Structure 1
């Protein structure tokens, strides 16, 4: 990579698409990896040399061709709402910021076509105006982009009903290779799977067609319980009942609800946050009573997406609220066994008293799953690793959010197949370098 690329890029690319000042480069070279004290230390000072913001597909192709010719590393970025350091450029170069490629191209019966920089809140609003809605969204949907979500997310609001990004949410993808000139790839079905949740290391998303579901009138509830076990049993009951329509089932052990100041929940009680089909309110209230709970907050369907909602305290927003109150708080990402959940939680709590439970119910390949995003006060990387090791010994799967490495952080596909795609679509290995680690004994 020669020093003169910075001069040539001004000749090849409209100056209106370029940012060079240090403030912009620092801001757009980071994400929410400050959730992890480990990543804060490891990624300190990593910054792009230039930010490029394409306005359309043609400009994106010009950028990718330029980078291939000059051998400049390229890191793609949505809106930086992820928290693994996946859009932090480890080797400098260019960050391609998709904020201006944000067009919703088409909404039809059961689908939407959008550019990668389209914010998911706007997509949801547009879909609901047409009597439809998104299948799954992160808790940061108001600011998160569809490209960032597909490259770095997996589930969120709606995944209890429809599953994750690998469960039919995406109908087709248009991608670009990084070569001169870039090739255009159209993928559907199983061919798309290796491109999901791979941090933009194996191809550059240019457009996506996502599936839409019929619009449901969702009401919101917050239920509290004196006993954490009752809160979990209630959450399991609602999650497993196919007769109850739900978009969110999120359970929080006390003292986590203390961090949710806008909800004003009672002291000393664990909480379950719900988005349910308004037609099933009576059934959910009955289940709450059976498990000795109390409904503390009811938001009718006509106020859905108006002001603060219960989803603003779910998934990784939970961690955000906790860290607002205590910056030493951090978290893990786990998956429990449905039939061993209480045994696993008890064993972890006995050995690590700082482990505070936060559960999110979702589906994967049609099966109910319990994702954990437990909170804990950070003591040391060594203790964090001991907790991770103990989780795995107990059969609790861990996708480590304290690493920028794609494989350790929960890659989505066979490693060797990702490398086959990378070598084909990124022959100079310029896309998000170092995030996709070679397998043992494998050369880059």
Structure 2
């Protein structure tokens, strides 16, 4: 066989070529494109608050634009004043005391997740990933050389995995367990007792834990957020916290997240970032400083609206024959099972999986939802209720009418 020539050799590396497009962003992009073309599409795809960023945060950014101090390079690991504010915010909100040297400011939560995995994983290391999972987790693990190992929970347990399930998935190659509460895509929230039990299991087996706390302030009813390293000090030397301003302060486009972890890991991740992107935009960092330093009044107002929408969407979805929608306790997503609808005839088609059902819903009633395949569990749909009340009711009403036509 002749050697490959430049024209026949692989054009895209195997590592990057294996990455799947973000399903949630793809659905959101398609919905926006259709809407721009004049179609009355209602999108439940992206996890993005419909509220504007609070005025005091925007004003801080405007002032930063006029300050020459922020027109220059700043430390790759983050503005010192922002890192200090993140330390104070973490103590205030999580009762977790850390030092500024344990903080790395990143370009959003996605960069934080990738850099955290890249800093601790060697090729072949396994990461236990509870499913349903956010689409970025397994891709970040693979990019960092790791192997995601899925542990699936369903609606019968409120989408929460047990220590027994985690133990069954553990092997001699397991290095990290991913812990997310409140969860994207399900809205599941672990109790303090279950959180501590999972942490103690990790300590017992010498595992790292990466815990994503981005939805910490979005919990409802009697549910309470629990920060794992705060309740289990023994874990702190092998725990990495990922967080950011996107969801709490309606700042998805500002792109500011952070890592909190052991000093050596944070230093390694900072070195990586110094070559990948250098510092986060200074204007965005100043905005984040205003956000985390301020009170939580604006957050509380948004949470009231999310809670109202949560109750509405759960009620309306459960009115549909064949749909089972548990009530989420956190974040701003519902994750209903639609297994009973698969294979049924709807307007001349018989969707065999949730990908086909989501496509049918978009084509027939112009409502964009994300199929469960994107989150590792076929047979479900994820809908974000971080959109206006009127759009929410109109969109789910369209879905109700469509799915009411399902026949054997």
> Do they superpose with TM above 0.5?
no
Q: TM-score, normalised by structure 2?
A: 0.26
Higher share in helix: 2
Greater relative contact order, per chain length (Cα 8 Å cut-off, separation 6+): 2
Q: TM-score, normalised by structure 1?
A: 0.25
Higher share in strand: 1
